[in-house]
Structure 1
Amino acid sequence: MAGFDHERLVERASTLVTERPERVVLAFLLVTAAFAVGLGNVSTEAGTSQFASGIPAEEALSDVQREFGPPFGADAGTTQLIQRNRNVLSKPAMLRMLRTQERVEEREDLRVTGTSSAASVVARTVDPSATTTEAQIRALEGATPTEVRRAVRENVDNPAFTGSVSSDFNRESVSASATIAVVTHELPGGLSSGAAAGQGGTSPLTPIQQRVERVVANGDADVTVFGSGVLAAEFSQVITDSLLVVTPAAVVLIVSFLVVAYRDLLDLLLGTVTLLMAVVWTFGFLGLAGIPFSQMMIAVPPLLLAVGIDFGIHVVNRYREDRDDLGVDGAMNAATRQLLVAFFIVTGTTVIGFLSNFASDLGPIRDFGLVAAVGILFTFLLFGVFLPAAKVWLDRRRNRIPVPTYSQRPLGAEGTRLARALRGGVSIARVAPLAFLVLVLASAVGAGAYATGVDTSFSDEDFLPPEESPAYLEALPEPFAPADYSVVGTLNFLEDNFESTNDGEVTVYVEGRLQRDTALEELHRMGEDPPDSFVSDGRRAESTSIVTVVLDQAERDPEFRRLVARNDRDGNGIPDRNLGEVYDYLLASSASGEVSQHLAEDRRSTRVVYTTKADASQGAITADARTVADRHRADATATGNTVVFKAVSDLIFESAVTSLAVALALTGAFLLVVYRLLEGYASLGVANTVPILVSVAAVAATMRLAGISFNAFTATILAITIGLGIDYSVHVTHRFVDERREHGLFDALDRTVRGTGGALTGSMLTTTTGIGVLVFAVLSVLGQFGVLTALSILYSFLASMLVLPSTLVVWNRALGLDPERPLGEDARSTEDDRTPSGTPSATD
């Protein structure tokens, strides 16, 4: 006997299911009602900022935004008005832009504090007194086309003009195909557009920019609206649209396969209701626990369906195997006795697989792991206790329920084509198990080595829909048709047509006493001999900082120039003493606004913004920015979106590797302990793990072969492969041990792959299809996640059917067990080489 008496617990559960099914069903329905209350509390969270929380580079970026933002009680946000036309610099086109600006300014609910555009610059050139948009419209209306063109030519070197027109601006013909106007909004204090957009994927600019879109749409301008609010809105919209597309498709496909698997309407309805209850419990928990629903959570329902379908088919299939011989109660008692133990092992390993994501430093991945793990526990209770009880209750009344019964024959029954196909692994195990196992493991090692080249990625585009939705999505009827997304197309347009958006930037945040004599010299030296990814001006990096503010002010202000000269001991134009006096002068001058953008009020922190090359990689920019930051003697941190995204990308890879290692280690330990306690053979845990190692290597190699990177979604795939894939090998191993107690080695394997293998086949077909529908999601990375998860299940099924039989034969030989004799009390070996009675036995 095993060292742990689990039979009593299983007996109590089986008795409860068969003797008091009505009470069990009622109790579970009441719990479902309680969890349903939590559904109304579920909030959403989207976007990239949720992943960056707590990262040093992100914290430095938040400090920069807080310390060098506008020094007012209310924060500022901006909206871009993008005009596209054959010539946006023609008089009619510029008038349309100005009138659009005017309509936006007139709406009090848009909280507009100012607007600027190329048209505004040209109008002020025509009439310098035109300081309002209304006056600028009058100025352009009264100007001739010749005067307008002359005003444009006067501004060809004016950054305020050239920075807002597209890169195809032609000075000779005075034409350009696009221009950008900027609308500045006043926001409530503490709700800056950038920071707030990171809170739950929402932005205080979202409702404002949505109203701006309506204002623009009502006009006659060829203008589109863009900004962080529009970006945040699409982050959230893509979740809704993905669920609207994926959920119905999953339901249709899963029900179709369940019809084949159950072949009975009552069983189909019972399995479907139990699946729905699992989803309600899980997302009710989400609301009650206050965990937001993020893009990653879209994958939770398919994962619950995967495990739930597997459990449901196993219960019904195992019950049907004994239904004719043992009757309703006896068949369910036998099914629960055998399956509850298997379900417990499966649940334990699956939960370990998901909870291994707690090793990640990324909050959304930890939340995903927790919710998925809790959902699997709920699924275990529902399919291990509720469904059997409900099945008993229904079958006792089946004759009184006016629903036809089609087939109660189990999948993989003797004589079927499926049974013959499932015996392939057993046939190999009969002929050359060791050679086959060595070949498979060598291939897995090769696949794992190949998989080390998998890339990592993290960007806004991972969370946004494609620029053009696939035709099959566009063809869907309402309400399933996705929205008309514009963000990615607009971002690509800006990158392609505006030089100012081609080059990027990176920030070095410096903390220290900025009034010490050498402070500005040290900042200045940071930009010497710039690295390759930085844009250079001679031998210096192109940058803006408090140093450039000093140099610019000295160039246009003679009095300040003399102040700098008096305090510049080495004559290089950078003051190196009495810096407090220098700062005081700047703050009292017209440069005070520029100072506040680069020097903190307490003069203990500053930022230096470097321009980076458009073609430089995220990794190169981050490495070079950190190199430049290290040149400073004080505490300097490289930051900016590029650096933050690279840091998240690195953490994603670390999460994937760490979660895999933790999942493998804990799953292996769990299986060793469980099989030792329940079956007396710890080494069964090792045999049980072999198919999973093969599956993990195959999934990782497939990622590289298909060009799929580790990203915010796929970072969890290897741990999930362990969590879900172990399901198949556990069911086979546990059924094998049960059969082996009564039959010889190969008879036990044959009965296992036909009985359990039949259920696993139905489960595999249903779950791979149900999860595979994620490929239809609007988010392409979610589609990648769905494909990889479906493949991980397929690989796990194939490994369990083809590799595990040979593994069990090798295990049987390693223990010296007689393949012809059943495992009896006198033949079973234990880990301490002794039976419970003290009689020596074979060593495990």
Structure 2
Amino acid sequence: MARLEFQRFVDWVDHRIVNRSRRVILVFLVVTLVFGAGLSAVSTEAGTEQFAEEVPEEEAFSRVTEEFSPRFEAGTGSTQLIQRAPNVLTRRELLRMLEAQKRLSDRDDLRVVGTASAASVVAETLDPDADGLAEQISALERATDSEVAAAVRENADNERFTGLLADDFNPTAASASATIAVVTHSIPLADEAGAGQGGDSPLTPIQRTAGRVVATVGGDISVFGSGVIADEFGTVIADSLILVVPAAVVFILFFLVVAYRDLVDLLLGTAALGMAIVWTFGFLGLAGIPFNQIMIAVPPLLLAVGIDFGIHAVNRYREDRAEGLPVGDAMRKATDQLLVAFFIVTATTVIGFLSNLVSNLTPIRDFGVVAAIGIVFTFLVFGVFLPATKVEVDRLRERYPIPTFSQSPLGREGSSLGRVLRLGVAPALRAPAVVLVVALVLSGSAMWYATGVDTEFGQEDFLPPAEAPAYLKSLPEPFAPSDYSVVADIEFLEERFSSSQSGVVTVYLEGRPTDDAYLETLDRVAQDPPDTFIVEDRRADSTSVLTVIDAEARENPEFAAVVARHDRDGDGVPDRNLTEVYDALFATDSAARAGEYLADDYRSSRVDYRVRADADDDAVVADAHEVAARFRGPSTATGAVVVFSAISDLILDSAVQSLAISMAGTGAFLVFVYWWLERRPSLALANLVPILVAVTFVAGTMRLAGISFNAFTATVLALTIGLGVDYSVHVVHRFVDERADHDLETALDRTVRGTGGALAGSMLTTVFGLGVLVLAVLSVLGQFGLLTAASIVYSFLASMLVLPSALVLWDRFSGNDPLVPLGGVERESGAAATAD
């Protein structure tokens, strides 16, 4: 009964495809115009900021920024000038840095409010009255080389000087290989900041201009800062698309020509692919979902499924036409079978993508939704529009002399491809259990091996590599990528300035700062710090409202008296009526500094701890959480390293959870749909075997290739299930149809040749179409393309080599042979088969 109900719907669609093809075409073109209007509304979102949304550690970081920032004041931003030379402390190089600072300061549009550099310190040492950059340049120009060297040695213990020099600073030789200058800009007060960074920054235009200005000075001085990072976040997307899209089009067209071997069918297939992409991205614009880096993978995914559907539809139709059926009957028979297979593939693929909704990371959830919607659109376009257009074109061919090339199906009997596709049939008929045992043992080994896959998240994942591959550099415009510097500069700073690049972790406290024991607790927690924390006088190097109180008390006798009056035990830490202490502190010159660590309403505070630059990030995060746990009341460890670690953990959780949900959801759906359509739910077990093989092999490939779970690859395992189902469902559904009318060997043979031929064409096209992602400037996108292409190859091989054995065993143990009587009555075939 269920089969008949579903068949009624399929017949309704068949009727409109065959008998009302022009109306169907018109409806789809109108809908395309509607979605096309949404393309102009597509916005972009880049960077790591989007991944930090809704992460507790990031929310704490944002609250720290919001609550402890100056109110009603102009914001500031900084630009770093990185100078490299055999010795940046020579008179010539120092003058070059000062000249760069001066030219930047002289530009009103750069809004420079201050500069700091080692060159300025040396100039001030030579001439204490040299307050301005012009005077500092004059001081250096008048000095001799020996005087400059003496001034450098004089500042060997000056942290304001040495903190701006590379670790190889040699005071005796007065030399260093690199130095940093800091230029401070006045910018409009920025929105609430967080640990991640987006693709927009108010400093981007400023630092672009600064780069051009600094270039006029000569030497090796580069501009680095949040604006440069944001600029490259956005540029890398455009550069990747410029490289990937044309290459994908070339490969796809080549393999489509081989698969279709007919100009008209090729044009129909490519038009349908374009329509599916327009619908998907038009929906993106209409729904207000921003396009992010992960969504670069959506077009290739749609192409993968669309090519598969298109080749299957045309190939199956050609098989029926080769049997002598007229256009309408051939298409009705083809869609009668394929719509069911397309529906199963679409539903299971959608389940795979929607499993990403369990992720706590917004971009991964958005990717899952958009990919799922795109697959549904692909099903409609290739399941209805393409067949209707094919019917209309072939009817015109019968009336008009439209050129027709090859119309023979792929994998036809006697062809070389057909013989290759049959490789899995003989082992399946002779020793199916052995084949399955070997496949499962290999899968188990691959999964065990894959347990060593790492997880990572960082800004570098979303930025171009420090050194672009040579083949990319040799490309002509507009394909040649931009000159990128951010990752190289980050690595340079980490390598050469490690001693001065110590990190900071923050503990956000939501307790009651006015409790008498509050400041005593801050003092106690600073004692006996963890190994990754920087230690001064056996205490953690930290900054809090307590350190501000201590500093002000040392300089201000009147405030010191207030502290002493509220210090019962005489240890220098106030421990009663703290509200009065805070009120007195905010009435001093340290009010702004205090406001950075204590909220205006005295309800929350923060403590910053400096951590060693060479410390392992995981150890830093663990120690930060351990220190936060020492405080009484609500406390949260945060900071960039803590937030990125939390996101990394969420990425792994997302990968595991989406895999489990995808596998369970796919299995449950297959059980239901095979029961509903065929009354044989055990077909789902056979269907899942090649998917399991493909998933485990992809996971093993990740470790073998040294690829970690990151923001891109976290979706690969669930995606493999979605794409793997595509291949196995077509084989299973075709086998069931063929088995209703043929013996086991014939049914397998016709299945692997007919459906296998279409799968081979689809596999080659999509592997190369997705494989071109390895050309992307963004390395993690290349990793995603490699793994997705591998998942398609594994899914195809498992469907051709392992699935036949699973079907043979299923056929034997389910009593499926239609030629064997059941209870003295000849068994019904196909839809009316007895239930499991």
TM-score calculated relative to the size of structure 1: 0.95
Is the partner of 2:806 in helix, strand or coil?
helix
Q: Distance in 1 between matches of 2:485 and 2:440?
A: 48
Match of 2:312 in 1: 314
User: Could you list the runs of 5+ residues in structure 1 that have no partner in the other structure?
Assistant: none
Q: Distance in 1 between matches of 2:273 and 2:410?
A: 20
Match of 1:275 in 2: 273
Of 366-375 and 100-109, the range deviating more from structure 2: 100-109
Is the partner of 2:420 in helix, strand or coil?
helix
Match of 2:44 in 1: 44
Match of 1:715 in 2: 714
Of 470-479 and 680-689, the range deviating more from structure 2: 680-689
Of 621-630 and 139-148, the range deviating more from structure 2: 139-148
> How big is each residue's C-alpha offset from its partner over 1:394-433, in whole Å with a ceiling of 9 and x where there is no partner?
1222367776433111111000121112112221121111
Letter in 2 for 1:479: P
Match of 2:467 in 1: 468
Match of 1:661 in 2: 660
Query: Quick one: structure 1 residues 690 and 489, their matched pair in 2 at CA, closer, same or farther if it must change by over 3 Å?
Result: same
Of 516-525 and 759-768, the range deviating more from structure 2: 516-525
Are the aligned partners of 1:506 and 1:640 in contact in 2 as well (CA < 8 Å)? yes
> How big is each residue's C-alpha offset from its partner over 1:575-627, in whole Å with a ceiling of 9 and x where there is no partner?
32343444344444443343222222222222212122233222221111111
Query: Quick one: structure 1 residues 38 and 751, their matched pair in 2 at CA, closer, same or farther if it must change by over 3 Å?
Result: same
Match of 1:54 in 2: 54
Question: 1:316 Cα shift?
Answer: 0.8
Aligned ranges 1:85-484 → 2 under 5 Å:
85-191=85-191, 194-195=193-194, 198=197, 200-220=198-218, 222-324=220-322, 325-398=324-397, 404-484=403-483
Q: Distance in 1 between matches of 2:335 and 2:646?
A: 48
> How big is each residue's C-alpha offset from its partner over 1:83-136, in whole Å with a ceiling of 9 and x where there is no partner?
222332233322222222222122222222222222222333334343333333
Query: Quick one: structure 1 residues 138 and 437, their matched pair in 2 at CA, closer, same or farther if it must change by over 3 Å?
Result: same
Is the partner of 2:5 in helix, strand or coil?
coil
Letter in 1 for 2:340: V
Question: 1:819 Cα shift?
Answer: 6.8
Question: 1:533 Cα shift?
Answer: 2.1
Are the aligned partners of 2:252 and 2:769 in contact in 1 as well (CA < 8 Å)? yes
Are the aligned partners of 2:49 and 2:195 in contact in 1 as well (CA < 8 Å)? no
Match of 2:642 in 1: 643
Q: Distance in 2 between matches of 1:613 and 1:563?
A: 36
Are the aligned partners of 1:534 and 1:541 in contact in 2 as well (CA < 8 Å)? yes
Query: Quick one: structure 1 residues 542 and 688, their matched pair in 2 at CA, closer, same or farther if it must change by over 3 Å?
Result: same
Match of 1:729 in 2: 728
Of 40-49 and 602-611, the range deviating more from structure 2: 602-611
Q: Distance in 2 between matches of 1:536 and 1:48?
A: 31
Of 364-373 and 554-563, the range deviating more from structure 2: 554-563
Of 72-81 and 311-320, the range deviating more from structure 2: 72-81
Match of 1:619 in 2: 618
Match of 1:75 in 2: 75
Are the aligned partners of 2:818 and 2:828 in contact in 1 as well (CA < 8 Å)? no
Q: Distance in 1 between matches of 2:317 and 2:356?
A: 35
Q: Distance in 2 between matches of 1:787 and 1:804?
A: 24
Question: 1:440 Cα shift?
Answer: 2.0
Q: Distance in 2 between matches of 1:603 and 1:150?
A: 50
Q: Distance in 1 between matches of 2:553 and 2:626?
A: 30
Of 400-409 and 64-73, the range deviating more from structure 2: 400-409
Q: Distance in 2 between matches of 1:694 and 1:735?
A: 21
Q: Distance in 1 between matches of 2:214 and 2:444?
A: 59
Match of 2:599 in 1: 600
Are the aligned partners of 1:495 and 1:501 in contact in 2 as well (CA < 8 Å)? no
Are the aligned partners of 1:494 and 1:501 in contact in 2 as well (CA < 8 Å)? no
> How big is each residue's C-alpha offset from its partner over 1:679-723, in whole Å with a ceiling of 9 and x where there is no partner?
221221222112111211111122122221111001001110111
Query: Quick one: structure 1 residues 732 and 540, their matched pair in 2 at CA, closer, same or farther if it must change by over 3 Å?
Result: same
Are the aligned partners of 2:818 and 2:827 in contact in 1 as well (CA < 8 Å)? no
Are the aligned partners of 1:25 and 1:390 in contact in 2 as well (CA < 8 Å)? yes
Letter in 1 for 2:248: A
Of 135-144 and 603-612, the range deviating more from structure 2: 135-144
Of 341-350 and 162-171, the range deviating more from structure 2: 162-171
Query: Quick one: structure 1 residues 432 and 364, their matched pair in 2 at CA, closer, same or farther if it must change by over 3 Å?
Result: same
Is the partner of 1:186 in helix, strand or coil?
strand
Is the partner of 2:326 in helix, strand or coil?
helix
Is the partner of 1:778 in helix, strand or coil?
coil
Letter in 2 for 1:740: R
Are the aligned partners of 1:197 and 1:229 in contact in 2 as well (CA < 8 Å)? no
Match of 1:779 in 2: 778
Is the partner of 2:651 in helix, strand or coil?
helix
Q: Distance in 2 between matches of 1:368 and 1:808?
A: 34
Is the partner of 1:185 in helix, strand or coil?
strand
Q: Distance in 2 between matches of 1:562 and 1:499?
A: 41
Question: 1:362 Cα shift?
Answer: 0.6
> How big is each residue's C-alpha offset from its partner over 1:644-692, in whole Å with a ceiling of 9 and x where there is no partner?
0110011001101111111111111111111111122122122211211
Is the partner of 2:186 in helix, strand or coil?
strand
Q: Distance in 1 between matches of 2:111 and 2:191?
A: 14
Query: Quick one: structure 1 residues 238 and 167, their matched pair in 2 at CA, closer, same or farther if it must change by over 3 Å?
Result: same
How many residue pairs match? The answer is 834
Are the aligned partners of 2:61 and 2:195 in contact in 1 as well (CA < 8 Å)? no
Is the partner of 1:455 in helix, strand or coil?
coil
Are the aligned partners of 1:655 and 1:715 in contact in 2 as well (CA < 8 Å)? yes
Q: Distance in 1 between matches of 2:821 and 2:186?
A: 80
Letter in 1 for 2:675: R
Q: Distance in 2 between matches of 1:572 and 1:425?
A: 82
Aligned ranges 1:5-20 → 2 under 5 Å:
5-20=5-20
Q: Does 1:803 align with 2:819?
A: no
Question: 1:217 Cα shift?
Answer: 2.2
> How big is each residue's C-alpha offset from its partner over 1:293-323, in whole Å with a ceiling of 9 and x where there is no partner?
1110010011001000000000111011111
Of 584-593 and 464-473, the range deviating more from structure 2: 584-593
Is the partner of 2:513 in helix, strand or coil?
coil
Of 548-557 and 642-651, the range deviating more from structure 2: 548-557
In angstroms, what is the RMSD of aligned CA positions? 2.3
Q: Distance in 2 between matches of 1:582 and 1:158?
A: 34
Are the aligned partners of 1:17 and 1:385 in contact in 2 as well (CA < 8 Å)? yes
Q: Distance in 2 between matches of 1:123 and 1:578?
A: 49
Q: Distance in 2 between matches of 1:749 and 1:780?
A: 42
Question: 1:473 Cα shift?
Answer: 0.8
Q: Distance in 2 between matches of 1:299 and 1:382?
A: 20
Query: Quick one: structure 1 residues 789 and 609, their matched pair in 2 at CA, closer, same or farther if it must change by over 3 Å?
Result: same
Letter in 2 for 1:507: T
Are the aligned partners of 1:271 and 1:387 in contact in 2 as well (CA < 8 Å)? yes
Letter in 2 for 1:652: I
Q: Distance in 2 between matches of 1:399 and 1:105?
A: 77
Q: Distance in 2 between matches of 1:692 and 1:502?
A: 47
Aligned ranges 1:567-606 → 2 under 5 Å:
567-606=566-605
Q: Distance in 2 between matches of 1:38 and 1:466?
A: 33
Question: 1:173 Cα shift?
Answer: 2.5
Of 237-246 and 100-109, the range deviating more from structure 2: 100-109
Is the partner of 2:615 in helix, strand or coil?
coil
Q: Distance in 2 between matches of 1:214 and 1:402?
A: 62
Question: 1:78 Cα shift?
Answer: 1.0
Q: Distance in 1 between matches of 2:564 and 2:825?
A: 98
Are the aligned partners of 1:744 and 1:821 in contact in 2 as well (CA < 8 Å)? no
Are the aligned partners of 1:70 and 1:76 in contact in 2 as well (CA < 8 Å)? no
User: Could you list the runs of 5+ residues in structure 2 that have no partner in the other structure?
Assistant: none
> How big is each residue's C-alpha offset from its partner over 1:319-347, in whole Å with a ceiling of 9 and x where there is no partner?
11111310222211111111011101100
Question: 1:501 Cα shift?
Answer: 4.8
Are the aligned partners of 1:2 and 1:677 in contact in 2 as well (CA < 8 Å)? yes
Of 546-555 and 792-801, the range deviating more from structure 2: 546-555
Q: Does 1:793 align with 2:792?
A: yes
Question: 1:283 Cα shift?
Answer: 0.8
